[in-house]
Chains A and B, each alone.
Chain A
Amino acid sequence: QSVLTQPPSASGTPGQRVTISCSGSSSNIGSNVVNWYHQFPGTAPKLLIYSNNQRPSGVPDRFSGSKSGTSASLAISGLQSEDEADYYCAAWDDSLNAVVFGGGTKLTVL
């Protein structure tokens, strides 16, 4: 059972906009920034969004992040087949003194 809660799966068709939610508590998302990663099969994760809504260099602006209270969301617009991957949210937890991850969301492009 992960500290941050994500839906196990999400899907969309090419060109569509999809969102992935990440729910936490006051000790993690409620008081710290949220980061997002994606991971393709057999490869290391890659940073997608940091500090709630910042994109690292090289990440397309189709990817955006937001946070409100104890929840966060990742939005992907103009969905492409190459976006098919696992997506994880993460944040520092002040009670656990640890980084906590969501369980991951498998995105399928139909």
Chain B
Amino acid sequence: EVQLVESGGGLVQPGGSLRLSCAASGFTFSSYWMSWVRQAPGKGLEWVANIKQGGSEKYYVDSVKGRFTISRDNAKNSLFLQMNSLRAEDTAVYYCARDNLYGDDAFDIWGQGTMVTVSS
């Protein structure tokens, strides 16, 4: 079964750090671009970052540039999001998502999400 499972969310104080992980299974992880997408409570979807198959290209939404780092370990079929200098506005459910193979940034597989709460 094709599956993405996120972990690493939790409660963190403003200014703190958190590292999210996403374990992929059921497909050739190294063949796909991967993304992180977040959703603040009661709000819409916001794309956060993506990473190319080999990790050579990465893109970020402006609001997280310089604070978040996306990475991957293809040998372990895992995607990561290192989040530093966290702010209250980063509070959200974070989903990892697989970009489909057509190169059109369509996310065809999503994880169940992991909640990140930034609060003192």
Contact = CB atoms under 8 A, between A and B. Distances in A.
Interface of A: 2, 32-33, 35, 37, 39, 44-47, 50-51, 56, 86, 88, 90-92, 96-104
Contact of A45 (B62, B102, B110): B110
A101 B46 contact: yes
Given A91-B105, A103-B44, A98 B111 contact: no
B104 interface: yes
A51 B102 contact: yes
Interface residues of B, number: 23
Contacts of A98: 47, 59-62
A74 to B, nearest CB: 14
Contacts of A56: 108
A61 to B, nearest CB: 18
A98 B106 CA distance: 13
Given A44-B110, A46-B110, A101 B45 contact: yes
Interface of B: 35, 37, 44-47, 50, 59-62, 95, 100, 102, 104-108, 110-113
Contact of B44 (A2, A33, A50, A92): A2
A48 to B, nearest CB: 10
A56 B100 CA distance: 10
Contacts of B100: 47, 50
A57 to B, nearest CB: 10
Contacts of B111: 44
Interface centre among A2, A45, A56, A88 (most CB of B within 10 A): A45
Contacts of A35: 104-107
Given A35-B104, A44-B95, A45-B95, A99 B50 contact: yes
A101 B44 contact: yes
Given A97-B59, A98-B61, A98-B62, A47 B108 contact: yes
A51 B106 contact: yes
Contacts of A91: 105
